[in-house]
């Protein structure tokens, strides 16, 4: 399903004229390592499940019973937390600190104080974004995906992302089909809805602190979410334009038609 979702949004992007055909080359670049890891895991479990030697089977069953005595270990296997999680080091990604397009390291090594003080030193880019329950003016307790839509999302914590871009950059985002989203604590959501009225930004209330925790942990202010809901880029608010330019380079984005540029400027 991840392969299908991954390929679908890239095919749709190319067919819509939002990116060049070279975007499709990133499918194997991004998906190969995780697909191989899942196959290797399946083969390993197959070797554990299907031995024919009775001694080996007995040892396996005894080990399983012993492990099940620990609730923590039992939950680990029941929740399938042993599965390798996908991570895209190359492809439609932007390094969070250097804003280099197309590739990134697993660890952030920037000397900026925000990064040095970040709780999580691994990069948030190339990983799945969390899906907590949220509130909006029209939804209560909905999944984040259900309120943000199915395409590109540019989200900021405690800020209106529409204000962080120039007219030309907003035209580029419109050409990509992106939606502006502002994450706020639930208590501040009514204020933000009134403050950002007219900008086209969707205000999302963080009900349980999961979204604020994500931004605090990674020490970023803005996140670009791909249609498959992997993080394509993150940055501080003042670097939003640079991050967008790098992301468009990574995805081989096509030029914005002059008509759309004129509509945004008007």
Query: Rounded distance, CA 265 to CA 149, Å?
Result: 25
List, for residues 218-256, the tens digit of each pLDDT value: 989 999 999 999 999 999 999 999 999 999 999 999 988
The per-residue pLDDT for 71 is 82
Question: Could you tell me whether strands 222-225 and 231-235 are parallel, antiparallel, or unpaired per DSSP bridges?
Answer: antiparallel
The per-residue pLDDT for 264 is 62
The per-residue pLDDT for 50 is 80
Q: For the chain, which ranges sit under pLDDT 50?
A: none
> Exposed, middle or buried: residue 226 (CB in 10 Å: 0-12, 13-18, 19+)?
buried
> Which sign does the torsion angle of CA 67, 68, 72, 78 carry?
positive
Q: Which residues, 6 or more positions from 182, have their beta carbon under 8 angstroms from its beta carbon? A: 155, 156, 158, 159, 160, 161, 192, 196, 201, 202, 203, 204
The per-residue pLDDT for 111 is 63
Determine if residue 86 is left, alpha or beta; phi over 0 gives left, psi from -120 to 50 gives alpha, anything else beta.
beta
Partners of 206 in the beta sheet?
134, 185
Query: Rounded distance, CA 167 to CA 178, Å?
Result: 14
3 state DSSP class of 194:
helix
In what helix (H) or strand (E) does residue 206 lie, and over which residues does it extend?
strand 202-206
Structural domains of the chain, ranges and CATH numbers in brackets: 1-79 (no CATH), 91-265 (3.40.30.10)
The per-residue pLDDT for 80 is 66
The per-residue pLDDT for 122 is 87
The per-residue pLDDT for 112 is 67
Q: At what angle do helices 54-68 and 71-78 cross, to 10 degrees?
A: 110
Q: Which of 1, 7, 16 is nearest to 253 (CA)?
A: 16
List, for residues 195-221, the tens digit of each pLDDT value: 998 889 999 999 999 999 999 999 899
């Amino acid at each position: 399903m991840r392969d299908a979702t991954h390929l679908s949004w890239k095919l749709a992007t190319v067919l819509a004229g939002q990116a060049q055909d070279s975007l499709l080359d990133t499918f194997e670049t991004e998906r190969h390592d995780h697909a191989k890891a899942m196959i290797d895991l399946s083969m390993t479990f197959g070797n554990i499940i299907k031995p024919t030697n009775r001694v080996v089977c007995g040892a396996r069953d005894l080990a399983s019973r012993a492990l099940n005595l620990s609730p923590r270990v039992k939950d680990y296997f029941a929740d399938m937390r042993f599965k390798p999680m996908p991570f895209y080091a190359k492809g439609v990604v932007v390094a969070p600190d250097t804003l280099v397009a197309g590739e990134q390291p697993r660890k952030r090594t920037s000397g900026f104080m925000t990064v040095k003080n970040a709780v999580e030193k691994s990069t948030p880019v190339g990983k799945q974004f969390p899906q907590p329950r949220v509130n909006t003016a029209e939804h209560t307790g909905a999944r984040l995906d259900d309120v943000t839509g199915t395409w590109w999302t540019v989200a900021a914590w405690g800020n209106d992302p529409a204000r962080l871009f120039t007219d030309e950059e907003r035209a580029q985002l419109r050409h990509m089909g992106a939606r502006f989203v502002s994450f706020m604590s639930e208590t501040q959501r009514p204020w933000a809805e009134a403050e950002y009225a007219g900008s086209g930004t969707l205000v999302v209330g963080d009900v349980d602190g999961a979204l604020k925790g994500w931004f605090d942990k990674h020490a970023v202010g803005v996140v670009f979410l791909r249609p498959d809901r992997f993080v394509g880029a993150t940055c501080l608010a003042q670097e939003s334009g640079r991050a967008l330019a790098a992301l468009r380079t990574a995805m081989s984005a096509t030029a914005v038609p002059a008509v759309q540029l004129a509509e945004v400027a008007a």
